[in-house]
């Protein structure tokens, strides 16, 4: 029987060679596919450009509408102060305890009770 170490090294060399050759092959296939798809994307037709501009305009208008809605809601809440009228105030700072602050505070308290795991 041959030396088992030499046999193991030969098998390892053949396996690693095949592995790296397959990686190079897959890299070449991916590079070829990206080159082919990139060339197709560089030459858009007029309909695709018009559809993209229309989508951008719709998205821009939707963002503007959302910004206006948020600003109106904040202005109304500041004027009426009815949004958090049933929420108690903190004694020390005099600030309102909003539901968001309460949720944040609960998360912070839950973190302190969780035991730390060692790695």
pLDDT band at 55 (very low <50, low <70, confident <90, very high): confident
Is the model's pLDDT at 18 over the cut of 90? yes
Compute CA distances 110 → 5, 77, 90, 102, 107, whole Å.
56, 30, 21, 12, 5
- Tokens for 63, please give them: 């963002």
- Measured CA to CA in angstroms, residue 97 lies from 92, 105, 107, 109 at distances of 12, 10, 15, 16
Mean pLDDT of 51-73: 88
pLDDT digits over 88-104, tens only? 555 556 666 778 888 88
Give the pLDDT band (50/70/90) at residue 44.
low
**74 compared with 12, residue with greater pLDDT:** 12
| Higher pLDDT among residues 23 and 51, named by residue | 23
Instruction: Write down the mean pLDDT value for the chain.
Output: 80
Q: Read off the pLDDT of each residue in 78-93 and give the average, rounded to a whole number.
A: 59
Share of the chain above pLDDT 90, in %: 32
Average of pLDDT values for 24-43? Answer: 84
Q: Is the pTM of this model over 0.85?
A: no
């Amino acid at each position: 029987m041959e030396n088992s170490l030499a046999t193991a090294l030969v098998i390892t060399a053949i396996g690693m060679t095949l592995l790296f050759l397959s990686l190079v092959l897959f890299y070449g296939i991916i590079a070829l596919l990206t080159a082919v798809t990139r060339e197709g994307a560089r030459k858009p037709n007029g309909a695709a450009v018009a559809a993209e501009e229309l989508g951008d305009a719709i998205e821009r208008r939707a963002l503007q509408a959302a910004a206006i809605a948020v600003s109106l809601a904040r202005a109304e809440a500041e004027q009426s102060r009815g949004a958090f009228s049933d929420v108690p105030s903190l004694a020390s700072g005099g600030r309102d305890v909003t539901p968001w602050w309460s949720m944040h505070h609960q998360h912070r308290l839950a973190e302190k009770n969780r035991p730390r795991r060692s790695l």
